[in-house]
């Protein structure tokens, strides 16, 4: 049992307990042969055990706050938790004043009785899609662990915590792919909602225009449940639907460039599953996708917005930053205001053009990332390789953030093969429909 609906049923039936689930998670985290030491920046062992005992008592009395009360989750290190500093994967904020409130998205999960077992490692300040962290170490993707391959970023620890059974689900953020890239690199599901649905207050911001909060888990149903709770909606498992007649747009430009053979094969297999289920696959060019990179090349939205957030902290603690993160943020100091305004206006125009072209489709499909997980050591020791690989891994996923849409990554590789993500992109505020489509495709991919 690795997903929320199954565990909720088992908890209701009394075949498992919250205390048992928490002990299993804590045991996985503490395993000296596992990734726990670099996956978590802080473990809530005592608090999690106390919460689990409370949830078991409440369930026995018929007072559990939700069917999911007592299920262990992990929380990315950039969320405010009352009484604690919010380091955001950095050392320069390790001694920051404690948060006075818990981030609303996390508070809603706590109200539903889900139990955080710890804070997870991440790319410093969420500014990379690779997941490397020179301060706390880098957790390895579960695939080819002996070689040591990237977990994806920036929600690196969250993805590994789920893949290794240290948590049933993880809560991350996604500014350019930070839930979906780690999901693809670790063989799990990652969801980026339409940003406005889930409050971003209390999450250390990378880009106020592009930030969103989403879950990583073992199934679409898990992601849908957690997303609904964080959005303040009733948590419902996506209803079944037929894929027959579904109009699926396959972008013919940009998203397939520089694709590795393993990705191409897994992507083709996923498309074949869609087609076999009756979906209509329609290949077409989307010129708007090619217009995003030129806007971002001048700094776009995330660099000046990150500079605005960090400029005072950099003034007093620049040497404590990951230098690769620091150099990207410091570009914002030299971006004129008119370039930033131009980027905002260009974004609006590109969104309008893309919306007009996709209105006759149900969903867009593409590889989440064009590569399987690269080797960590090769990126740690080569700045040029780090930069080019980071841009490549972010290319497809970042489009959904720029276009203000919802998107989900599903694992589409065969068992034992390198992890590959298959991304579906929906319309702005089309989250419910996208999740239903994703759940239907997930069932086909697991046949």
Residues classed as catalytic: 76, 154, 178
Identify whether the C-beta of residue 158 lies closer than 8 Å to the C-beta of residue 216: yes
Q: Cα(417)–Cα(414) distance, rounded to whole angstroms?
A: 6
Exposed, middle or buried, 352 (CB in 10 Å: 0-12/13-18/19+)?
Answer: exposed
Three-state secondary structure readout of 259-297 = CCHHHHHHHHHHHHHHHHCCCEEEEECCHHHHHHHHHHH
Radius of gyration of the chain (CA): 21
Q: Cα(210)–Cα(203) distance, rounded to whole angstroms?
A: 13
* Structure tokens belonging to residue 71: 């299920």
CB neighbours of 320 closer than 8 A, spacing ≥ 6?
Answer: 90, 91, 92
Q: Cα(353)–Cα(361) distance, rounded to whole angstroms?
A: 14
Q: How far is CA 121 from CA 88, 130, 233, 442, in A?
A: 8, 12, 28, 28
Q: Residue 116 pairs with which residues in a beta bridge? A: 73
Q: Cα(193)–Cα(426) distance, rounded to whole angstroms?
A: 9
CB neighbours of 159 closer than 8 A, spacing ≥ 6?
Answer: 151, 152, 170, 172, 182, 183, 185, 186, 188, 190, 216
């Amino acid at each position: 049992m690795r997903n929320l609906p199954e565990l909720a049923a088992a908890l209701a039936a009394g075949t498992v307990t919250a205390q048992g689930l928490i002990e299993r998670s804590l045991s996985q985290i503490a395993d000296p042969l596992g990734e726990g030491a670099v996956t978590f920046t802080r473990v809530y062992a005592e608090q999690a055990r106390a919460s689990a005992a409370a949830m078991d008592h409440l369930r026995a009395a018929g007072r559990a706050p939700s069917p999911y009360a007592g299920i262990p989750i992990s929380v990315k290190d950039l969320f405010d938790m009352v009484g604690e500093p919010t380091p955001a994967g950095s050392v320069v904020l390790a001694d920051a004043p404690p948060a006075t409130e818990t981030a609303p998205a996390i508070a809603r999960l706590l109200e539903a009785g889900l139990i955080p077992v710890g804070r997870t490692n991440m790319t410093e300040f969420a500014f990379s899609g690779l997941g490397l962290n020179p301060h706390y170490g880098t957790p390895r993707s579960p695939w080819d662990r002996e070689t040591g391959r990237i977990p994806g970023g920036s929600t690196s620890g969250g993805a590994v915590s789920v893949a290794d059974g240290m948590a049933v689900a993880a809560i991350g953020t996604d500014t350019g792919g930070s839930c979906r890239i780690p999901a693809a690199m670790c063989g799990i599901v990652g969801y980026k909602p339409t940003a406005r649905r889930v409050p971003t207050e209390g999450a250390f911001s990378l880009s106020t225009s592009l930030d969103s909060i989403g879950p990583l888990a073992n199934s679409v149903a898990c992601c849908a449940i957690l997303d609904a709770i964080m959005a303040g909606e009733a948590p419902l498992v996506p209803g079944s639907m037929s894929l027959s007649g579904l109009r699926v747009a396959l972008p013919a430009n940009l998203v397939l460039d520089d694709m590795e053979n393993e990705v191409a094969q897994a992507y083709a297999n996923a498309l074949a599953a869609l087609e076999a289920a009756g979906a209509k696959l329609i290949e077409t060019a989307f010129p708007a996708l090619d217009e995003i990179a030129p806007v971002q090349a001048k700094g776009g939205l995330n660099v000046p917005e990150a500079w605005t957030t960090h400029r005072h902290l950099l003034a007093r603690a620049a040497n404590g930053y990951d230098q690769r993160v620091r150099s990207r943020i410091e570009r914002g100091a030299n971006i004129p205001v008119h370039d930033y305004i131009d980027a905002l206006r260009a974004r609006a125009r590109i969104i309008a053009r893309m919306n007009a072209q996709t209105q006759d489709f149900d969903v867009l499909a593409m590889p989440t990332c064009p590569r399987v997980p690269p080797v960590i050591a090769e990126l740690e020791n080569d700045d040029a390789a780090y930069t080019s690989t980071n841009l490549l891994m972010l290319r497809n996923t970042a489009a959904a953030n720029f276009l203000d849409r919802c998107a989900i990554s599903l694992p589409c590789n065969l068992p034992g093969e390198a992890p590959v993500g298959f991304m579906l992109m929906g319309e702005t505020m089309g989250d419910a429909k996208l999740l239903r489509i994703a759940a239907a495709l997930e069932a086909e991919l697991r046949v």
